[in-house]
Amino acid sequence: MADNAVAGTSWVVQELGGTVTSEPKPELAFGDDGRLTGTTGVNRVMGRYEVVEGLLTVADAATTRMAGPPEAMEQEQRLLALLDEPRAFVVTGDRLEVGDGETLALLVRPSAQPS
């Protein structure tokens, strides 16, 4: 897989740790410039990313500090934990799977969201 497979792409987080995400669904965008932007569903998230030897690494991740319902905040924590260390990933068409062995997260392109 090319190291730039996620550069210039945007994704909606459909599942985290096997659990379907709730509305509003988190969204992540990987800029061509190495910047990560998006939302956790409650807060905005930003940082830098790079892909080296097939691993996606997020650095300097920061969020705004708004509070939401307990289940939304728990979902946010699971997403931030996912971004907290380098992860293997695979892009297949409209799907981005993050994690080794068992998928830790499933993201889809906004145009491919299930109705």
For the stretch 37-76, pLDDT in tens is 999 999 999 999 999 888 999 999 999 999 999 999 999 9
Is 70 exceeded by the pLDDT of residue 101? no
The amino acid that residue 55 corresponds to is L
The residue ranges of every structural domain in the chain are 9-109
| 3-class secondary-structure state, position 81 | helix
Helix/strand/coil for 113? coil
Report CA torsion sign: 1, 27, 25, 104. positive
Please state, as a whole number, how many other Cβ atoms lie within 10 Å of the Cβ of residue 49: 19
**Whether residue 2 has pLDDT greater than 60:** no
| Single pTM value for the model | 0.91
Place of tokens 């830790």: 104
Helix (H) or strand (E) holding 75: helix 70-82
CATH class of 9-109: mainly beta
